[in-house]
Amino acid sequence: MSDFLGYHRPNGQIGIRNHLAVVSAMDNANPVARRIAAGVRGAVPVTAAHGRGQLAEDLEQHDRTLAGYGAHPNVAASLVVSLEPTSAQALAERIAARGTPVEWIAIQTEGGTVNATARGIRILSRLAGVALAARREPAELRDLVLGLECGGSDALSGMTGNSTLGRVSDRVVEAGGTVILSETEEIIGAEHLLAARASEPRIGAMLLDAVRRTEAYADYLGLDMAPLGGDNIRGGLTTTEEKSLGAIRKAGNSPLVEVIGYGERPSRRGFVFMDAPAPGSENTTALAASGAQMLLFNTGVGNPIGNPISPTIKVTGSPATAEYFADNIDVDVTGILLGQYDLDAAGDRLMRGLLEVANGLPTASERLGDTEITISRVDIGFLRRVWAPADAAGEAVQ
């Protein structure tokens, strides 16, 4: 018995959307990528800042993320656009290695913006045949990878929206699917509770190590990670630990089976943790790059952002937000607080919404165009440290 109808890709992936992705390898190719995407129905530009002049792990994370979008289950075929051919070909090869049809163009070798745009549209129009040939076929919950996110959290988030996500997470895991919790900063103070759920000691140690690295980096920069955001405080949260205890509710009660890096694909089914930054656009970018076909995003006081490739279901359990942020909300679970139904019934509501979106219903962020890609940087203080002024003893000041 099928749970929804999805697009079965030749490489074994199953998508819930049938996009053509125009992936820009670097920021100076973004305008051309957007023009190409605008010229072909069903095309989505995948653009981000930077990409040129990046080094080492910073560049690797950038390229890994873009390759994750180009080879996403929700993508039928991709066109890579870059300024020059070396980066274009390298990114296209990473996408092709995952079995997704892909071609590339370079603005320099095409002779500028106009020629590159025209040729890109011709190539993408040809690739559109791959998408047109795809048909929705029966699929199951076990075929889904869900990304879990919360943003604009308030005092109600943990007990309402996040707990509702947790109910759905457990159902998907029980069915054999995968859910990815992320936002390393958002679990500080509650990391021991997640580590205790690890399927083996090594997995728990990896989670705790991710938190230690985050704390150590904050110490290195002289940052205090305790203060909450202004919207969190206005929403009634009082401490980082309180926020973290609510944030981990998104992951339900399933065992933790794997810890992965930013934008990496899970290798095991079940509850997975991804070490990635907490800000909404950055984290949804990483979750989608990991292959999540859909994102579940609970918001307490309101956050409109979604993702252009992975439909983002906005959930709230705050009555005020459900009213004044109604245009951005897909699933309202304020009935929990109002005593109209319990968490299990709220989970049923979200599961129905999830399956409707999996079957093609557009989310609010898709309808409104509230989507963004923001790839996190790695150690962007590199040049500052290299070129730091020397002290009196001739040592670089760190």
Q: What is the pLDDT of residues 49-100, one digit of tens each?
A: 999 889 999 999 999 999 999 999 999 999 999 999 999 999 999 999 999 9
pLDDT at 395: 41
pLDDT at 228: 56
Overall fold of domain 19-133 = Rossmann fold (3.40.50)
Give the burial string for 251-290 (b: 16+ CB within 10 Å, else e): bbebebbbbbebbbbbeebbbbbbbbbbbbbbbbbbbbbb
pLDDT at 159: 78
Judged against a pLDDT cut of 50, whether residue 389 lies above it is answered with no
Judged against a pLDDT cut of 60, whether residue 393 lies above it is answered with no
- Nearest alpha-carbon partner for 153 in 127, 187, 194, 116: 187
pLDDT at 220: 83
Task: Tell me the percentage of the chain whose pLDDT exceeds 70.
Answer: 89
Higher per-residue confidence, 92 vs 380: 92
pLDDT at 2: 76
Q: What values do phi and psi take at 306, rounded to 5?
A: -135, -170
Contact residues for 37 (Cβ-Cβ < 8 A; gap 6+): 20, 22, 43, 44, 45, 124
**What are 311-342's pLDDT values in tens digits?**
999 999 999 999 999 999 999 999 999 999 99
Judged against a pLDDT cut of 70, whether residue 39 lies above it is answered with yes
Phi-psi region of 152 (alpha: psi -120 to 50; beta: other; left: phi over 0): left
Distance CA 31, CA 43 (A): 14
